[in-house]
Structure 1
Amino acid sequence: MIDLGKYAGTVLAAYGVSLLLLAGIVWQSWAANARARRELEKYEKNG
């Protein structure tokens, strides 16, 4: 691993926050897709 020196904590925290935000975006997109799919199936079933 690259030696980050005195900035190691800051850099690793930034990576951690970035990964959490990316995970949140993926989860939100997945949830929106599932919700839209349910609504579409409901609409198609009831006409």
Structure 2
Amino acid sequence: MMPDLGKYADAVLSSYAVSILLIAVLVAMSIRRSRKMKAYLAQIEERVKNG
């Protein structure tokens, strides 16, 4: 299943691990920011609605 990476296996696999971790962090940050902005926009809309 996994290709033979030879002497570079550690470097390649650690690079994959770091890349996956960074992508996961970026996705989590995006989701968190999205939730904050939705709440902020809902607050603004409520203020505008109530005048």
TM more than 0.5: yes
The separation in 1 between residues aligned to 2:29 and 2:15, in whole angstroms, is: 21
1:27 alignment partner in structure 2: 28
Percent identical residues: 40
Bigger Cα Rg: 2
Residue deviations 1:1-47 (CA, integer Å, cap 9, x gap): 10001111110000000000000110111111000000001111121
The separation in 2 between residues aligned to 1:45 and 1:19, in whole angstroms, is: 39
The separation in 2 between residues aligned to 1:42 and 1:20, in whole angstroms, is: 33
Q: Which structure 2 segments of 5+ residues have no match? A: none
1:2 alignment partner in structure 2: 3
The separation in 2 between residues aligned to 1:39 and 1:21, in whole angstroms, is: 27
The separation in 2 between residues aligned to 1:40 and 1:2, in whole angstroms, is: 49
The total of aligned residue pairs comes to: 47
Q: Which structure 1 segments of 5+ residues have no match? A: none
